[in-house]
Chains A and B, each alone.
Chain A
């Protein structure tokens, strides 16, 4: 029927190759997520999945409901653009139930922004911590009103 016959080892390799390619396409039909490519080169469902995640931040407005005196002070001084939760930790649960305290951040919050770094703009006040006085910033500075002294 065929004009030529494939040698046995070549024929076997062709069959193995076909089996591999075939099983790849079968696997692909099962393993490709159905919504893949819906919007682009990713799973369309991923957007919903990300959107469904519970937010952890409460936002400044929420803090304002109970701590308006502090927010009031803050907004009149240099730190007015800072978010409360940047230093005090994520607070959504605290907002819903004041008995649950915010997740306290670790580390020194002040030097996150004020440690000297050439990459920071020159107008931002910067210090070299090891040359600067004191183990505690709040002994001399008021975080909510940085231009005032305690």
Chain B
């Protein structure tokens, strides 16, 4: 063991430049590509939920066709949100211990509470109230295993009287109201984990939770746009252009705010030019050049801003098919850009020495516990789960049907 460790130092040296402490010259950073995927998936969950709450809380009727799809997207991704962390653990089989002996003062252990609250108290409950009426209906008409699943999901409550449905709507509305701060909490928490590391100038920043939340909203809406277009294409349905244009509008607004806040962060760091700024410049100009300047800023922000901005200005003059392609491309580019943003945050903070006078490199492994193959598998899981959920809970006729539940009046609720 000692021999292995000392040999690693000798072999890892060519991967470092400048003044790097010996304990920083490792083969790969402590937080590898799996920790890049973790905030990415969590952000998609929070964003997809906020997208859905536009319908419930802010009563944006045009988005009703994607309400259920957004909620199911959030659920599919939330079910996989802990997987990267689990695979990153040295002893994944001990993961239950965090729940058996929950720690109340460790910021990392708090994710257990945040996750459990968001999954159990917000997302599953809201989905259950939204689908309850349908569960009862489907449980009576569907035979076999699928019917059994629906019957189990009704929890034995078959009351779909008007009074009962009104109560469901009221509960959904309350849960959406609770859900918005919860979604902010879920992803703000991830930003907090990075932002609270004071010794690291790339991370230690009060704007970090806000940037995480905004990029989460952007990526979540982009994911819903992507999923909606792919689903309608797979089902050979026509896209509801009013819905898609409204999504594109919200995506544009969210992207503008996100880009402005992230730009402000860079400007602020540049003007303040604190002691670690020189090494941050090396990060921006050299180490993260392609993922930051090309990926995050160029492909993930500027190009979608131009495409979506043009659509806001000349929507009526652009034919529907072109609009669809432009919005789809913007969504896909934003999804890629936000993944790059997570990479830049997680890896950027580990590419420079704590001395601020040297830099390290990271070559991703292909296989193994921290390899990119595992990362790719984890990223593929949520779409697979979503496919099953869509198959079970989003029948073809539902897809383009506006949400049946009217918005309860706030005064009566």
Q: Which residues does A use to contact B, with CB under 8 Å?
A: 7-10, 12-13, 16, 20, 24, 27-28, 31-32, 36-37, 41, 56-57, 85-86, 89-90, 103, 105-108, 111-112, 115, 117-120
Contact = CB atoms under 8 A, between A and B. Distances in A.
Nearest to A36: B101
B358 interface: yes
A24 B164 CA distance: 30
Contacts of A8: 157, 159, 164
A107 B103 contact: no
6 contacts: A9-B157, A9-B167, A32-B100, A112-B10, A118-B357, A118-B358
Contacts of B156: 12
Main secondary structure of the interface of B (DSSP, over half): helix
Contact of A107 (B7, B132, B155): B7
A92 B342 CA distance: 47
Contacts of B358: 118-119
A53 B107 CA distance: 32
A31 B13 contact: no
Contacts of B272: none
A112 B3 contact: no
Nearest to B167: A7
Contacts of A12: 155-157
B18 A118 contact: yes
Contacts of A32: 100-101
Given A7-B164, A31-B96, A31-B100, A119 B3 contact: no
B129 to A, nearest CB: 8
Contacts of A56: 1
A31 B9 CA distance: 39
Given A16-B155, A115-B10, A117-B13, A106 B3 contact: yes
Interface string B146-170: 0000000001110100001001100
A119 B19 contact: yes
Contacts of A41: 101, 103
B232 to A, nearest CB: 32
A120 to B, nearest CB: 8
B6 interface: yes
B390 interface: no
A111 B7 contact: no
Contacts of B368: none
A35 to B, nearest CB: 12
B65 to A, nearest CB: 26
Contacts of A20: 120
B6 A86 contact: yes
A7 B159 CA distance: 10
Contacts of B157: 8-9, 12
Given A56-B1, A112-B9, 12 more contacts: A8-B159, A9-B168, A10-B171, A12-B155, A27-B100, A31-B97, A57-B2, A112-B6, A117-B13, A117-B22, A118-B357, A119-B355
A28 B100 CA distance: 5
A118 B13 CA distance: 11
Contacts of B19: 118-119
A89 B168 contact: no
Please give me the 3 A-B residue pairs with the lowest Cβ-Cβ distance, nearest first: A107-B7, A105-B3, A118-B19
B320 interface: no
B11 to A, nearest CB: 7
B2 A90 contact: yes
Given A8-B157, A9-B159, A28-B100, A119 B22 contact: yes
A115 B18 contact: no
Given A7-B164, A118-B358, A119-B22, A111 B125 contact: no
A146 to B, nearest CB: 18
A9 B9 CA distance: 61
B25 to A, nearest CB: 8
B155 A13 contact: yes
B3 A103 contact: yes
A37 B103 CA distance: 12
B31 interface: no
B21 interface: yes
Nearest to A112: B10
B7 A119 contact: no
A56 B3 CA distance: 12
Contacts of B20: 117-119
Q: Which of A7, A12, A13, A119 has the most CB of B within 10 A?
A: A119
A133 B172 CA distance: 76
B167 to A, nearest CB: 5
A9 B157 CA distance: 6
Contacts of B10: 107-108, 111-112, 115
A22 B168 CA distance: 26
A12 B101 CA distance: 29
